Amino acid sequence: MKKNIFILILLTSTTLFSQASINNYLIDWERSKNHSLAILTKMPEDKFNVKASPDVRSFSEEFKHIVGSTYYMMSTALTIEAPK
């Protein structure tokens, strides 16, 4: 009987923890999205392709990298396929 109760508690806590983790990812994603949009609206459009030096990404390349990473992390957290 104690074994069954332990298993039930373990399964319930795992499910609750999983849901809490997903909610935390969604909160982080929303905050990141708002921060990214704020940065994008402040950057003048004619500066999007400027590079500080030839061996670094431009502003737009860096944002594409950030978006790709965010899609990958969120798809992993939500166990879905990342959008292309």
Q: Are 32 and 40 in contact (CB under 8 A)?
A: no
Cα–Cα dist 32/40, whole Å: 12
DSSP run (H or E) holding 36: helix 2-42
Find the domain containing 30 and state its range: 2-77
* pLDDT tens track for 61-79: 988 888 888 778 778 777 7
Q: Is residue 58 part of a domain?
A: yes
Tell me, yes or no, if the pTM score tops 0.85.
no
* pLDDT tens track for 1-42: 556 555 555 555 555 455 667 788 788 878 888 988 898 899
Q: Residue count of the chain, please give it.
A: 84
Tokens 């508690």 belong to 9
Task: Work out how many domains the chain is built from and give that number.
Answer: 1
Q: Is residue 82 part of a domain?
A: no
